[in-house]
Amino acid sequence: MIFETWWLLALPLIFGLGWMAARFDARQLMSEQGALPRSYFKGLNFLLNEQPDQAIDAFIEVVRLDPETTELHFALGALFRRRGETERAIRVHQNLASRQDLPDAEREHALFELGQDFLRAGLLDRAEESLRRLMSGPYAAPAKHVLLELYEVEKEWKKAIDAARELQPLEHKDYSVQIAQFCCELAQDALQRKQPEEAVGWLQQAIKENPANVRAPMLLGDVAMAAGDAQGALGRWLGIEQQDASFLPLVADRVVKAYRQLGDNGQALAWLRGLLKTSLAAELLDSAYRAELELHGAHAAAALMREQLRRQPSLQALTKYFEAQAAEAAEAAPAAAGETGDSGAAVAQAQQAAGQDTGQVQEVSAIRDLLQHRTRNLARYTCRECGFRARLFYWQCPGCNRWETYAPRRTEALG
């Protein structure tokens, strides 16, 4: 009975203490909110309404009133960099990094942001210096990632290889595609310096890093061709069909050149004609047309394009057909004009035929010009990552700087 009495007395006391604690927490929260400047909430409101300029002005006022607000400094620096005011962003982050009272984690954060500021401003040496101070700790992986981008911009391919290899265990990501491409870039640099042995070494390293890399066999074929080994070059280029046949259009003209050097133009044309019956026809029409035109003349080129129109009708094949027709008509007109007899009637007949031929040449040429104008800008290589479109094929997209994002086929059909 005594226990129950004390229990009844304790219950109101417990509820009273809980009520007092809740009141205390509420008052403390209200006092903390009241201590925040109104500019802070104005800045947040501007950010939510996607008004970064007004948000910057509001946050500048907050930082002026309370210089200790490190998080607002970071937000302000990021806004400056996003708006392109890299000098102001650098000042904000430099002030943070130089503060003696700043915890190590926040100082590393400031150094990381500072490195990005320098990179955006084009001060690559200073960006590398800032990021190099973060090779361990929580910002090691993002700092090395930015360094990798920096080395790609500077074309420091050896440093890029080292950075990519260091990133692999940190990010648990495979960088073999990028490393192989860096090796290919080093090989191209060696070829420009007339160092084929060094180039071959880098290309072999590229294949070791990424056996699926197509660029390295292409360049090894170039090295063989430059050394006068047309047969070896052919072996490299034709071997791409087993690796990834979609890349064959990129080496088609090289293959024709190698066959020509070996004195086997017929084999080159037969190879191209065979590929015209596949899904690669649209990409190989130009090469096949030029090879047929050079080897057998305009009439044969027109016949080849006519056959292609029956098999796979397309605007590109039609354009090449009229190009061949115009070339054939231009060749026939002077020949017809030269075949004149002694009689006046023969001369008049020849002049009439020549006039008709001239009119035909003009008509066919007009159709050819119209089709060429229509098809000139249709086909584009398109990046799978950012959608950047280009007339030329790139191993690294100029838009997003990703590697091997361009398919070797143009994405818009010409039909």
List Cβ neighbours of 366 (8 Å cut-off, separation of 6 or more): none
Q: What does the alpha-carbon distance between residue 220 and residue 222 come to, in Å, rounded to a whole number?
A: 5
Q: What does the alpha-carbon distance between residue 290 and residue 324 come to, in Å, rounded to a whole number?
A: 10
Per the CB < 8 A criterion, the answer to whether 186 and 162 are in contact is: no
400 marked as binding residue: yes
Q: What does the alpha-carbon distance between residue 85 and residue 38 come to, in Å, rounded to a whole number?
A: 25
386 marked as binding residue: yes
SS3 401: coil
**Other Cβ atoms closer than 10 A to 351:** 12
Beta bridge partners of 381: 390
Q: DSSP letter string over 96-134?
A: HHT-TTS-HHHHHHHHHHHHHHHHHHT-HHHHHHHHHTT
User: Of the candidates 192, 191, 249, which has an alpha carbon nearest to the alpha carbon of residue 224?
Assistant: 191
For 153, 197, 368, the CA distances from 219, given in Å and listed in that order, are 22, 12, 36
Per the CB < 8 A criterion, the answer to whether 249 and 283 are in contact is: yes
Per the CB < 8 A criterion, the answer to whether 317 and 309 are in contact is: yes
SS3 84: coil
Q: What does the alpha-carbon distance between residue 378 and residue 411 come to, in Å, rounded to a whole number?
A: 10
Angle between helices 176-192 and 196-209 (to 10 degrees): 170
397 marked as binding residue: yes
SS3 388: coil
Q: What does the alpha-carbon distance between residue 268 and residue 244 come to, in Å, rounded to a whole number?
A: 20
> What count of Cα atoms within 13 Å lies in the side-chain half-sphere of residue 144?
19
Binding residues: 383, 386, 397, 400
Binding residues for Fe cation: 383, 386, 397, 400
